[in-house]
Amino acid sequence: MPHPEPLYDVAQLGHVELLTPVLDDSVRFFTGVYGLDLVATEGDCAYLRGWGDHDLTTLKLTSSANSGLGHVAWRAVSPQALERRVAALEARGIEGTWTEGDIGHGKAFRFTAPGGHLTELYYETEKYRPAGDKVPALPNQPQRFTGRGAAACRIDHINLLVPDVVTTRTFMDDTLGFKLREHLVPGSGQGEVGAWMSLMNKAHDLALTREPADTQGRLHHLAYAVENREDVLRAADIFMEQDVFIEFGPAKHSRTQGFFLYVYEPGGNRMEIFSGGFHIFAPDWEPVTWNTEAGGRSTAWGLDVPASFHAHATPPLS
């Protein structure tokens, strides 16, 4: 059932937990090469953030037998909005549980979304407070720019594989207010295979791609943003010099028009360095349907998508 008005109860992708079978290697990659800062470690977990993230932590790495998504967490715009969204979830029959929180955030409503991904909704966060040589020259910046590695700036979006794109995107819209911006419906009768959704002004905070295997809950990729396309090109040089496998890019997506670069972190999870993409200010944005008639091009300039981009996800199929 469509909302009577655009719903702005959810603010942003707050943080993501990734599982990795090689925690130390993953931490080394994310800090030294991808360019995040290590904020805390606790047990088998490490907490990180980008230099442009205002929250204390946006990435949690957890040691695990397999790679993949631990959970994805969305931040509500207010305590009241959190309550409203939990009520909407429960009205939908979702059975969730409240957690006490984690390093960087307070209590969270935890549930499994259609498609099998563990999801959290929360409001209370701890902001990052720079000190010492982290204090920036500009007080509107969360910390000093250091330029280490690819210097990934801030958490941007996540792409999840789901068995049925329409089911999941409808659920995310109905319960949380994710707005459909673009979807891919090839003309061959196979139905909708991709959807790009966002909360406010971005082209996407969440992408849903059809899971090709008989499984669920898998991760396609997690993306951090950088400021310019030149930063993406520079990241490619950094990855090349550090022997990081570059799967795809730098190039320009047709959907979202973002400038992308995909690599695998040592644990096997696909990570993107992303810049740009168009912005959406119209509250009555008309979803764009990509089909055979609309060209259906995968990338803006015609670059072919490598087969692994369709086949690889985490955890890998056993």
Binds a second copy by CB under 8 A, chosen from 187, 228, 310, 311: 228
* Interacting span for a second copy (CB under 8 A) from 16-24, 66-74, 279-287, 307-315: 279-287
Q: Is 307 one of the binding residues for a second copy (CB under 8 A)?
A: no
Please identify, among the stretches 91-99, 108-116, 159-167, 296-304, the one whose residues bind a second copy according to the rule CB under 8 A: 296-304
- 60 binding a second copy? (CB under 8 A): no
CA angle, 64 then 65 then 68, to 5°: 65
Is 240 a residue that touches a second copy (CB under 8 A)? yes
In angstroms, the CA 136 to CA 74 distance is 27
167-186 residues near a second copy, rule: CB under 8 A? 181-182
Burial classification of residue 261, based on how many CB atoms lie within 10 Å of its CB (0-12 exposed, 13-18 middle, 19 or more buried): buried
Residue 197 binds a second copy (CB under 8 A):
no
Give least dist CB 166 to a second copy, A: 19
* Cβ–Cβ under 8 Å, residues 70 and 62: yes
Distances (CA, A) of 111 to 11, 138, 196, 307: 18, 39, 21, 32
Closest approach of a second copy to the CB of residue 6, in Å: 5
Interacting stretch for a second copy, rule CB under 8 A, among 6-14, 23-31, 42-50, 90-98?
Answer: 6-14
Q: Could you say which of 194, 258, 276, 315 contacts a second copy (CB under 8 A)?
A: 276
- Provide CB contacts within 8 A for 8, sequence distance 6+: 77, 177, 199, 200
CB of 93 to a second copy, least distance (A): 27
Interaction with a second copy in 142-161: which residues (CB under 8 A)? Answer: 144-149, 154
How many chain residues bind a second copy (CB under 8 A)? 78
- Least distance between a second copy and beta carbon 147 (Å): 6
Q: Does residue 25 bind a second copy (CB under 8 A)? A: no
Residues 114-133 that bind a second copy (CB under 8 A): 125, 127
Nearest-CA neighbor of 256 among 241, 273, 276? 276
Sheet with 97-99: list strands edge to edge: 37-42, 45-49, 59-63, 10-20, 68-76, 118-122, 108-112, 97-99
| Nearest to a second copy of 65, 137 (CB atom) | 137
Measured from the CB of residue 282, what is the shortest distance to a second copy in angstroms? 5
Token pair 């969730």 in the structure block, residue: 96
CB atoms within 10 A of CB 130: 14
Closer Cβ to a second copy, 201 or 318, answer by number: 201
CA-derived radius of gyration, the chain: 19
Site for a second copy in 81-100 (CB under 8 A): 81
187 binds a second copy (CB under 8 A): no
